[in-house]
Amino acid sequence: MSIWRNVRLNMETFDLYLASASPRREELLRTLGLNFITCPVDADESIFDHESVSKRVELLAVHKAKLAAQQYGIQSGWIIGADTLVEIPAETNTSPIILGKPADYNEAKAMLIQLSGRMHLVWTGIAIINVTENSVHTTVNRTEVHFTQMSPATIDAYLATNEWKGVAAAYRIQGKGGCFIHHIKGSYSCVMGLPICDFYGILVQSGYPSMEQWGNAAQ
């Protein structure tokens, strides 16, 4: 059980909650100047494996946000849930390969070998629950990422940085992993785990004040 479940939240101070332990998502929210509190959840990420990858990330984002509401007793405000998966598209006579977070070094190495010299898709689903109004708002972003060819020695050197830990497909675009990305088509922040443009759109749609209303409150 996560120790975060036992944290006593000051519900009068915060009205925005992030149901994720991802430092990348925290970083992206901070760039917007938003006040929020992090509420990590222990979610079974295999429960929607029967769904398409786009539906999986959407449903998992909703699931995580709902878990945060239950585990932390959140009774008002907005809860952000998010999930990211990587898909290597199917080739002739093959099925798509779906990559989540690697369980260990060997799995991370296998993922990087699969990504080397290929295009893959990063899918990020976002859910925002307006707890006060009991409404759920979702969006899914798909971004193409094109990897350069990586030699076995380069893969080993990258794995030694430990950037592979805790991230989908075992790389971080905003770190040394960016050295192997030739180009992307889509949202850079989607690859980090929270497409900012899409996020802002459904945040306002959910009833949260728009940017022109933030003033100094979000500083």
The per-residue pLDDT for 90 is: 85
Query: Which residues have a Cβ under 8 Å from the Cβ of 67 and sit 6 or more positions away?
Result: 19, 41, 42, 43
Q: Residue 204: pLDDT above 90?
A: yes
Cα(112)–Cα(152) distance, integer angstroms: 10
Angle between helices 152-159 and 105-115 (to 10 degrees): 140
Domains and CATH numbers, the chain: 3-214 (3.90.950.10)
Cα(1)–Cα(67) distance, integer angstroms: 13
pTM for the whole thing? 0.88
Phi/psi of residue 142, nearest 5 degrees = -120, 125
List residues with catalytic annotation: 83
The structure tokens 């989908």 sit at 168
- Average predicted confidence (pLDDT) for the chain: 90
Q: What is the mean pLDDT of residues 29-35?
A: 92
